[in-house]
Amino acid sequence: MENLLTEAELSFKKDVREFVNKELMPHVEEWESRKEYAKESVKKIADYGLFGIMVPPEYGGLGGTVTEYLIASIEIARASVSLASIFGSPAGIFTDAILNFGTEEQKKKYVPAVISGDMIACFAVTEPAAGSDAANIATTATRDGDEWILNGAKAFITAGDVGDVVLVFATVDKSLGTRGITAFLVEKGTPGFTVGKVEELLGLHASSAAELFFRDCRVPASAVVGEEGKGLRIAFASLDLGRIHVAGQAIGLAEAALEATLTYTADREQFGRPIGNFQGVQWMLADMSVMVDAANLLALRAARMADAGKDYGAAAAKAKLYAAESAADVARKAVQLHGGYGCTRDMPVERYYRDAKLIEIYEGTNEIHRAVIARSLRS
């Protein structure tokens, strides 16, 4: 990938890697072992300016590119996919939605606060009965004068238990189908807004995923983001960006797994020589390297298309699909080549293996991405 990056991008990548190695990597195992959202990482990432990577300078950001967002996602995921997950929403889908569809008042109130780390932001689409089928959202919003009353539940919301502001998608009229879905900003402490169960997930132990409940939760009309009934468009536009980010998570994990395995197979000896000298092992390592490079190329193409203002939905779906499946395969091979030690918590490849499975599911399952790609072939 390095050969395809500009000098400025290579310099940015070097700087981010140094930041990750110095400020995040030393704490990863401690944060992962606690099995709770690593709030300490929020301040570190915010202070370095990465939450504002794509935010215009007038709102306190760096005014960077989607390609730089991808680079940062990869570098943080090399340390921990949990931390990359924490990075993703405030740097990407939440701020992207507000900047592209919010009012000037909303932009000034939320964007600087989120990228500075003063507010933790959440993006709430998924529901118990509306995962892949986002159009099946059942959370309702009923107009009452100058207010909206929200009722419903959300599930698996990243940072839901610690979030200060949530972008919630609800339907104003179920009979309208997708044309009734509308986006609302709801702040922590709003009466009727509560947090439910925090899920115990297979991986991503330094992040969190929680249930959110809305029971006669009143928000002002000014809480609506974009046009009434255009919420699904906002969600899908932001999720295309999110898929590039999650592809970056997968790539960072796969790169870390490959590097750990190269080191281990060079040091581990059996039958009088390093196991990396055996052809069967070498071929597995070669396959892992090919998958990492191919995933990098697909993700970089999607990011370049986004930066060029082109329709990148299908490209993002391809990048996320291939990178996720590659990460799972690379992590599986990494555990296999570490042998029994790969199944212990002493080796990071055990964590990579668990995290890789989740990457195949969130931000659109692999099956949904295949459907998106197939649909693009007919258009």
* pLDDT tens-digit readout, 54-101: 999 999 999 999 999 999 999 999 999 999 999 998 998 999 999 999
Of the candidate ranges 58-62, 133-137, 154-158, 253-257, the one whose mean pLDDT is the lowest: 133-137
Cα 311 → chain centroid:
20
How far apart CA 184 and CA 225 sit, in angstroms, is 6
How far apart CA 300 and CA 68 sit, in angstroms, is 10
Residue range 299-333, pLDDT digits in tens: 999 999 999 999 999 999 999 999 999 999 999 99
Interacting residues of 279 by C-beta distance below 8 A, sequence separation 6+: none
At 27, is the secondary structure helix, strand, or coil?
Answer: helix
**Which residue from 345, 254, 259, 266 is spatially nearest to 291, judged by alpha carbons?**
254
- Please report, for the chain, the start and end positions of each structural domain, with discontinuous segments joined by +: 2-115, 121-229, 232-377
Residue 238 parent element (H or E): helix 231-267
Mean pLDDT of 172-191: 93
Q: Which long-range contacts (CB under 8 A, 24 or more apart) does 86-89 make?
A: 86/37, 86/38, 86/41, 86/42, 86/45, 86/158, 86/159, 86/206, 86/207, 87/45, 87/50, 87/51, 88/158, 88/242, 88/245, 88/246, 88/249, 89/121, 89/122, 89/123, 89/158, 89/159
- Percent of the chain at pLDDT > 90 equals 89
Superfamily of 121-229 according to CATH: Butyryl-CoA Dehydrogenase, subunit A, domain 2 (2.40.110.10)
What pLDDT, on the 0 to 100 scale, is given for residue 337? 97
CB 250 within 8 A of CB 359: yes
**Token digits for 227?**
């046009």
Candidate CATH numbers 3.20.20.70, 1.10.540.10, 3.40.720.10, 1.20.810.10; the one for domain 2-115: 1.10.540.10
The residue with tokens 């939760």 is 217
What value does the CA radius of gyration of the chain take, rounded to a whole number of Å? 21
Residue range 15-51, pLDDT digits in tens: 999 999 999 999 999 999 999 999 999 999 999 999 9
What pLDDT, on the 0 to 100 scale, is given for residue 360? 95
How far apart CA 249 and CA 362 sit, in angstroms, is 11
Whether this prediction's pTM lies above 0.75 is answered by yes
Residue 40 parent element (H or E): helix 39-48
Residue range 238-263, pLDDT digits in tens: 889 999 999 999 999 999 999 999 99
- Percent of the chain at pLDDT > 70 equals 100
DSSP characters over 281-348: HHHHHHHHHHHHHHHHHHHHHHHHHHHTT---HHHHHHHHHHHHHHHHHHHHHHHHHHGGGGGSTTSH
How far apart CA 169 and CA 93 sit, in angstroms, is 13
CB 78 within 8 A of CB 252: yes
Catalytic residues: 363
Does 232-377 carry CATH code 1.10.443.10? no
